Amino acid sequence: APVLLWLRQDLRLHDQPALIAAAEQGPVIPLYVLDDEGPGEWRIGGAQRWWLHHSLFRLAQDLEAKGSRLILRRGPVAATIAAVLAETGATQVHALRHFEPWWRAAEASLGDALHLHDGNHLIRPDTLTTGSGGAYRIFASFWKALEPKLPPGDPVPAPDHLPAPKHWPASDSLASWGFLPSKPDWATGFGWQVGEDAALAKAHAFRAKVAAYEEQRNLPAEEGTSQLSPHLHFGEISPRTLWDAIRNAPDALKFHTELAWRDFTASLTTALPRYAEEEGRASMKTFPWRSGPHAASDLRAWQRGRTGYPIVDAGMRQLWKTGWMHNRVRMITASFLVKHLLIDWREGERWFWDTLIDADYGNNAVNWQWIAGTGIDANMFTRIMAPLTQSEKFGAGSYIRRWVPELAELPDAVIHDPDEHGRRPANYPPKMIGHREARERALAANRAHR
């Protein structure tokens, strides 16, 4: 009987232990199911649909080159898989383990037919626990426990050929899912290259940059980070393969620790599956976020990059144009929304979910809660980032000139705060609220709340 290979955020053929295990059992039917119901409001967002289209297209080509196919179906995932099992006479489903709550719910309803394998993290994140068996709350302790278990082992090569079934089940056409054309067209921003080959090439090219990573990673104007996040999210490259690609690069420690953040956020959201919706810190659950028409129009100004804070606007426009934003600027823009505008962190989290090409349940939720000071870690709401100081400190001048064309003529000395220098062009908005005023408002709201 044929065996199902259930593909999710692991759209690759190399270092794919579920594929190897399936092929040992019999002819393999690779299956991708688009489920817009199970994940509820965490169904795949707008930008990611664009990525997913290209990723599935490439994967189907790669499978065909190995004598196989990619079967596409749409519907509630567990019921759809059950239907394909019935149609094909298959009794086994092989898949890599994922930790998003909707995947775990679907896994539970597949029962004994499902065989899960590890391969999307450096370590199976839910197995790394504190002495008392709970998830780590703080990354530093998580890393301390993880580091002795590394490196993560050798990646498994892709098979040369995949055994095919006598009869293939029906498949949707990718075009019928209507992911393209997408608006905006996320291809124009960075010229993203999607798929496994592109991910591998990028990982190998990044090898030369690893040594400078620690120094460069906070500078938005430099391409100092790997930009592998969408490839990692969709599993076009495994963390093990990435580790292997930079194996002998000098000074890789900082990069290794950042890579381990993915494992940390998966471990946290496995322990706290509602972390994308609910504050980890009980006292923050009733925080009086602003609401009403003024808050709504402030939110829109933030989304559109019209806050009057050049670094914030550059970040939000980079996001809209490319589906990606530099990490330092994600921190600045997120903090601005939550603390300067006093808008509920979930609004920002949802906007990122829909516009980020690398939107990831654990990474998004844990980072938003960390910035907002609502999380189970030690970061406090009262730590307020100063966007203008950050912009200067991390030398964001040319980054701003690139993403905010109204300011393209301004020199470094004034670009971070054109208002302050009387150099604001007429077509660029004034600051929505002054930094000091915003800071005082946030601290007062926090005091009143406590």
Q: Write out the two tokens for 58.
A: 């490439």
- Judged by beta carbon, residue 25 or residue 379, the one nearer ligand FAD is 379
- The type of residue at 367 is N
Interaction with ligand FAD in 365-394: which residues (CB under 6 A)? 367-368, 371
Q: Contact letters (x/-) for ligand FAD, 333-352, by CB under 6 A? A: -x-----------------x
User: Per CB under 6 A, which region of 51-59, 327-335, 408-416, 432-440 contacts ligand FAD?
Assistant: 327-335
Least distance from ligand FAD to the Cβ atom of residue 139, Å: 9
Least distance from ligand FAD to the Cβ atom of residue 149, Å: 18
- Judged by beta carbon, residue 96 or residue 232, the one nearer ligand FAD is 232
Interaction with ligand FAD in 254-313: which residues (CB under 6 A)? 258-259, 261-262, 265
Interaction with ligand FAD in 44-63: which residues (CB under 6 A)? none
Whole-angstrom distance, CA of residue 368 vs CA of residue 373: 8
DSSP H helical ranges for 196-309: 196-206, 210-216, 229-233, 239-245, 253-271, 293-304
Least distance from ligand FAD to the Cβ atom of residue 256, Å: 9
Least distance from ligand FAD to the Cβ atom of residue 349, Å: 8
Classify residue 342 as left (phi > 0), alpha (psi -120 to 50) or beta. Answer: left
Nearest partner of 394 among 412, 419, 368, 421, judged by Cα: 412
Least distance from ligand FAD to the Cβ atom of residue 312, Å: 13
- Judged by beta carbon, residue 116 or residue 199, the one nearer ligand FAD is 199
- Judged by beta carbon, residue 126 or residue 406, the one nearer ligand FAD is 126
Q: Going by C-beta distance under 8 Å and a sequence separation of 6 or more, which residues neighbour residue 450?
A: 283
Nearest partner of 11 among 59, 63, 77, 65, judged by Cα: 59
- Which one of 20, 232, 276, 400 is in contact with ligand FAD (CB under 6 A)? 232
Count of positions on this chain that bind ligand FAD (CB under 6 A): 27
Whole-angstrom distance, CA of residue 393 vs CA of residue 384: 16
- Which one of 9, 364, 374, 391 is in contact with ligand FAD (CB under 6 A)? 364
Q: What are phi and psi of 48, to 5 degrees?
A: -70, -25
Whole-angstrom distance, CA of residue 198 vs CA of residue 234: 13
Active site residues: 258, 261, 289, 327, 345, 368
- Judged by beta carbon, residue 52 or residue 228, the one nearer ligand FAD is 228
Whole-angstrom distance, CA of residue 225 vs CA of residue 173: 36
Q: Contact letters (x/-) for ligand FAD, 209-228, by CB under 6 A? A: --------x-------xxxx
Angle at 238 between CA 351 and CA 246, to 5 degrees: 105
Nearest partner of 357 among 173, 234, 260, 226, judged by Cα: 234
Residues binding ligand FAD (CB under 6 A): 217, 225-229, 232-233, 258-259, 261-262, 265, 327, 330-331, 334, 352, 356, 358-360, 363-364, 367-368, 371
